[in-house]
Amino acid sequence: MSKARLDPAAEQAIDWMVRLSADRNDTRLHARFDTWLNSDPAHAQAWGRLQERLGGAFGTVRALDQRLPGQAGEARRVLMQPGTSRRDVLRAIGGLGLLGGGLWLAARSEVGTTLMADLHTGTGERRTLELEDGSQLSLNASTAVDLKFDAHQRLVLLRQGELVIEVAPDPQRPLRVRTAQGEIRALGTRFLVSQQPDATRVVVLQHAVRARLHDGNELDLQEGQAALLHAQRIERLGRDERHRADWLNGHLNVLDDPLDAVVDALRPYTRGFVRVAPQVRNLRVQGVFPLNDPQRSFGALAETLPIEVRHYGPWLTLIGPKS
């Protein structure tokens, strides 16, 4: 039996996914991608279907191309098979034998991280629960955490996303939140931690925390203070950032952030792929936006900024300069 073949637009969409994931900061590459995307409605539809299927998991096919040259074609066929759910796609890829050992996890895709986590939330979902020690943990949308609680420790591993935790006292087992850059140890009761692409944001909502990098560098933060944990330094932020926890009430409160950061905060509430053109990424934004209605938020941004927001079905949103 002959293998099903992808249509040309689907093939091109997957190739663009691999190229964009390899270098997301190449403005010329992004310009060529925009030209391809706008040249044919079939291109936008194919790109949207791919993002919906993978949930933005760029790393999967890229890892296949790098580690198993010549075999990614079969994975591509399965990824774009019509009528297949996201979970079915993951199961099908595993059944191909292409993702042996730790390859899937090494790809560090959002889908893989979420499926393996002890606790997770989906797109547009917030969740608050009580942990076994009595602490209260709130997860923002598209967040994944693992828990390591035993007789000797209370450790929350933030794999992706954002959390707020109100810590129950236990002098023998201080609660810690670990991220890619370091750990945050509770010295008081309530704080926010956000895993960002290259840093960890910490905001103290009540009392104090101790932020520590993996190399041992430490900084104590008091109520109302915030910091970014980078790989080799801790950057203390000068202003009160407690408004960043307003997502608990369904609001995105922006005081003076670039448009790119605002869109990043809306992405966990938006189905499909959102693309911001390089020319408008640094526009400054202020305002309060509803997280539960991201389309309304995008509309509000278009009314107050010199930008144009174009939607291609539920899968693709393009934000660029107003024509």
Which domains are seen in the chain, by residue range?
A: 8-116 (no CATH), 119-243 (2.60.120.1440), 250-321 (3.55.50.30)
Predicted confidence at residue 8, as pLDDT, reads: 78
Which among 223, 174, 171, 175 has a CA at the least distance from the CA of 202? 223
The predicted-structure confidence for 163-209, as pLDDT tens digits, reads as follows 999 999 998 999 999 999 999 999 878 999 999 988 999 999 999 99
Predicted confidence at residue 169, as pLDDT, reads: 93
Instruction: Name, in order, each residue with C-beta under 8 angstroms of 136's C-beta and a sequence gap of 6 or more.
Output: 128, 129, 130, 165, 166
Separation of alpha carbons 12 and 53, rounded Å: 16
Separation of alpha carbons 153 and 228, rounded Å: 25
- Mean pLDDT of the 89-106 span: 42
* Greater pLDDT, 109 or 156: 156
Average pLDDT across the chain, whole number: 81
Please say if the pLDDT value at position 289 is more than 80.
yes
Please say if the pLDDT value at position 6 is more than 70.
no
pTM reported for the whole predicted model: 0.71
Where on the phi/psi map is residue 251: left (φ > 0), alpha (ψ -120 to 50), or beta?
beta
Where on the phi/psi map is residue 127: left (φ > 0), alpha (ψ -120 to 50), or beta?
beta
Predicted confidence at residue 204, as pLDDT, reads: 97
